[in-house]
């Protein structure tokens, strides 16, 4: 179970990983650019969604 916790990020961890602000993080989640899900009022982001987002951004920049 502990490993699974590392596979799910909070909004704060997403912000830290991408060096972005809270508003932009919510924009990415609400637009679907980064896939996540809500637990109550809080967002949870699978690490794989973050990795896919980064890979797609790298592909677009080349």
pTM: 0.85
Tell me which of 3.30.230, 3.90.105, 2.60.120, 1.20.1270 is the CATH number of domain 2-61. Answer: 3.90.105
d(C-alpha 31, C-alpha 33), whole Å: 6
CB-based contacts of 24-29 (< 8 A; 24+ apart in sequence): 28/53
pLDDT digits (tens, 9 = 90+) for 24-34: 999 999 999 99
d(C-alpha 32, C-alpha 34), whole Å: 5
- Quick one: which H or E segment has residue 34? none
Delimit the domains of the chain by residue range: 2-61
pLDDT digits (tens, 9 = 90+) for 6-54: 899 999 999 999 999 999 999 999 999 999 999 999 999 999 999 999 9
CA 20 from centre of chain: 11
């Amino acid at each position: 179970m502990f490993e699974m916790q590392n596979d799910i990020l909070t909004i704060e961890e997403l912000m830290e990983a991408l060096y972005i602000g809270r508003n932009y993080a919510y924009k990415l989640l609400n637009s679907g650019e980064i896939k996540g899900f809500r637990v109550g009022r809080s967002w949870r982001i699978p690490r794989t969604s973050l990795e896919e987002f980064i890979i797609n951004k790298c592909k677009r920049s080349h």
